[in-house]
Amino acid sequence: MPVYYTKEHEWVKIEGNVATVGITEFAAHQLGDITFVELPKTGKSVKQFEVLCAIESVKAASDIYAPVSGKVMSVNEALENTPEIVNESAEEAAWMACLEMADPAEVGKLMTRAQYDEYLKGL
């Protein structure tokens, strides 16, 4: 399953026409202890790089951007009661939403893991 990354530190796993979205370990580490995840509403449509949802930590509140355009099919409700999952498993258990992709070609605007790792070195 290919995974792509944004400069805003979101990841997206592509499986067929479904895009699963979350934030990277780097972002979770930068934010510190996550206290709240504001999940998007099911059925919400977003364009690539628009605000999808929000996350709050002891340090800051941040917007989470949609790596691809699409419609929210499902959200990870576990994060509503246990937002700390993001700190424990940012790139696995702490996915935030699944989108039905509008345009699979948009992944061309994202980074591979190798490109993302190079990008992080410059920060």
Residue carrying structure tokens 């929210």: 72
* Structure confidence at residue 120 (pLDDT): 98
pLDDT at residue 22 tops 90: yes
CATH says 3-102 is which class?
A: mainly beta
CA terminus-to-terminus distance, the chain: 27
Query: Residue type for 112, please?
Result: T
Q: Kindly report the pTM of this predicted structure.
A: 0.96
Q: If 0-12 CB within 10 Å is exposed, 13-18 middle and 19+ buried, where does residue 3 land? A: middle
| Residues 41-64 pLDDT 10s | 999 999 999 999 999 999 999 999
| Residues 61-108 pLDDT 10s | 999 999 999 999 999 999 999 999 999 999 999 999 999 999 999 999
pLDDT at residue 12 tops 90: yes
pLDDT at residue 1 tops 90: no
Rounded distance, CA 82 to CA 79, Å?
5
So where are the chain's domains?
A: 3-102
